[in-house]
Structures are given as C-alpha cells and as structure tokens.
Structure 1
Amino acid sequence: MEPDTDFLVRRAGVEDALQIADVHVAAWRETYGPLLPAGALDSLDAGERAQKWAGIIAGGEEVLVAEDAGGIVAWASGGPGRDDDAPVDRELEGIYSPARVHGSGVGQLLLDAVIADSPAYLWVLDGNARAEAFYRCNGFRRDGAEREHAVAGIPRTTVRMVRS
C-alpha cells in the first residue's frame, strides 16, 4: 500500500469510543488470532470495549485517533511509564490498526504524534513480528525484560522494547 497523507490525527473524545473499540477488536483478531488457539478471540465485543474506552478517555488518558473520510482507522495511547522499573519516563501504551491500513503510514503518524522522538518504551507480544519490525525501524530495541500478559485470558509472553 502506498503511504497515505490523508489521515487526520487528533485527540480522542468519549464520542469516539465505539469506533476505537471496533478498531481494537479488528486489530486484535487479525494480529493475535494466529498467535492464539482457534476461537480464543471470538467473544471479543466492541460494545463492551467501547464502555471501557469511554471511561479511559473520560479519565484523561492520552488517546489519539487517526481518521480518514470513512472514520477512525487507528488509535494510539501513551503517557508516563506505568511500570515501577520503567527504563525511561514515557511509555507507548499501544498502537492498533486493522490490516487494511497497514503500510499506509498511519502507524508512523500516530507514533510521531504520541511520543515524537522522545525516549520511550513499550511492551509487544512475543511473536508479533510485524509490530516488532516497525518499532525497530523507529529505534526501539529489546532490553531483555519479559513478562506474562493475558491476551483473551491466555497467558502470553510480552517483551519490552526501549528507545533511549
């Protein structure tokens, strides 16, 4: 896909919660589906996730969305590091987009908007090669830290990547 510059990146509002949840569910199914047992993500519900997103946004968390003429196509969140042993002050909490916009440049736009070129860290599911390659291109490297994280209730290893 050719890089697209027709995305608007803006701060999310509570009214965006359902579209964010739709993107979240689609991205999880496409990205994590192959890394989990068959059917593990079938019960994901965008309506339920929308309620959680509305609370996150209303609580003041930094959530950015990218939209095109059809609506929200991706989101990102970031903030102060949430871990006691954070290697740097800023954490990229997530960037999610469905496969239909991969390669469009939207992930880069969101990364640049949420953390710019600041030192930051993130956690990525071990085995998510596409995401890890993207982060490596942006200066992130594994620092050796790992932890278990439940994805749809199934424990999986996540690895920490840091950009100093």
Structure 2
Amino acid sequence: MFHNNRYSNNGEYTALISGNRAFIKVDAVDTGSYNMSNKAKLVARVGPRHSFMNHSTEFGLKERPQGRFDFEYTDPERSSFVCVLFKKHLFGGDEELGEIELRLSAFEPNTVVSKEYTLKTPSSKHIPCRVRLSVHLSEDGSNAFCAPAGGKLLANPEIPHKTTYFN
C-alpha cells in the first residue's frame, strides 16, 4: 500500500524542508601582515563548503563590506559555512589570504551573534587576517537580521583544518 510520508499520523502536513535560514554579514576585515596598497580590492566568499565560491562580495581596503550571504539549512548540528578572504588580482587569479569554517550549532538561534575570528592563513610567513562576522540563524521565520542583537556562542564554532582549502 502507498504511504505518503509528508503527512503526520494525525493528517497534518509536514514540510520536507525546515525553512531555517542562515544570514551572514562580513562587518569588518583586518588583513594582518599582508602587503596591501590603498587601491587593493578584497573579495569575501561566504557560504556552505559545497557552494561558497558562488557567493562573493568585493570591496576596497578602506571600504566596509556590503554583501549579505544567506542559505537554507535543515540541521544545525550537521551544517557549517566557510568564510574565505582573497586579495583580488586582475591577472593570474585571486590570492587567498585566509579562511575559516564555522559550525551553525554553535550560534544561538533567532539572535544576531557578532564576533571577530582569526582566519587560517595558507602561509605561516604572515600574521593572520581577522574578520568580524554577524550571524543570524532564523529558525522562527524572521527576516535577515531582524532579531535581537547580542546573541551568544553556545560552543566553539571553529572546525579545525590542517591546511586551507586552496593549498
């Protein structure tokens, strides 16, 4: 007999996708000891590991990043996002300055958590870059960053890696 598992035992419809959304903003960047001119352009790419390269914002060294990144997730225990910072080059490809991967389960849901993170550098010759990120996990259907500020970290969000993604 055919069983439609989208309905619970009492006949109520159950959504297949949770509708939970992660909203992330890069608030500020410190490039550490990397050599930068005043005209240098930076690129931040933020999102799930399988698609973060598709989500980028470009900004100048003296500019505040304007991009906002968002994606859907089902289970915060099994979800994470990557933040990678690049120095933009017109020729020869962008130069990775650093990256970090953070697990969603470490962020208090339905609040905005803002914190500074040190990125893992591809080279030990440099003082690492730092980024200030604001993260809003909307599990109540609220719009991006329409949540109380001052949310807390529930655990250490960093997922350690021995090397960076591109090296």
Same topology, TM > 0.5: no
TM-score, normalised via structure 1 length = 0.28
Which structure carries more relative contact order (alpha carbon 8 Å, separation 6+)?
2
TM-score, normalised via structure 2 length = 0.28
Higher helix fraction (1 or 2): 1
